Amino acid sequence: MSDGRPHRLSAAYPALALLFAAACGQRDSDNGAPPLWDPSAWTPAQIQQLESGRRLYAQKCAACHLASGQGQVALGAPALRGSAVATGPVALHIGIVLNGRGNGAMPAFAGALDTRSIADIINYERNAWGNSDPELVTAQQIEDMRRR
């Protein structure tokens, strides 16, 4: 029964919604749904990289960019689905993930994630939600950008 006063947890609802969004990745073959990637278009090793990127994206990126890739512009997190970053020059995409953007709105991950994890996240972003880049980013490309 309510006494008309807001519940103490009502202030936590937006944070809980973000946490829920971060925990909810795209459906995948682990839960019986069809795979996200056409197995005939990718090698097993490439699919493993994309799946790793999907898991890392859910942990590190989805709270702001959402599991759907649609972003939250009000938070400074633009959509990645169909974006110029996720479908454009790979060097720009790598640079943003490594160095961040927008006075802290997008954190820099160069010091927070290893090279392989960054490559996997970028590969996922470039191949999820209808984005399609058949040339997967390599760990060497990430290392080269780190040295610049």
pTM, 2 dp = 0.77
Could you read off the pLDDT of 21-77 as tens digits, one per residue?
333 333 444 445 566 778 889 999 999 999 999 999 999 999 999 999 999 999 889
Secondary-structure percent of the chain, ordered helix, strand, coil, rounded to 5: 50, 5, 45
Closest to 68 measured CA to CA, from 110, 132, 129, 3:
129
Dist CA 38 CA 83 (whole Å): 22
**Which of the following CATH numbers is that of domain 13-23+37-147: 3.90.950.10, 3.30.2270.10, 1.10.760.10, 3.40.50.620?**
1.10.760.10
Domain ranges of the chain: 13-23+37-147
pLDDT digits (tens, 9 = 90+) for 86-95: 999 999 999 9
Average pLDDT over the chain, rounded to an integer: 82
User: What is the Rg, in whole angstroms, of the alpha carbon atoms belonging to the chain?
Assistant: 17
Do the beta carbons of residue 137 and residue 119 sit within 8 Å?
Answer: yes
Reported as a pLDDT band with limits 50, 70 and 90, residue 10 is very low
* Residue 116, CA distances (Å) to 15, 38, 105, 134 in order: 30, 22, 23, 18
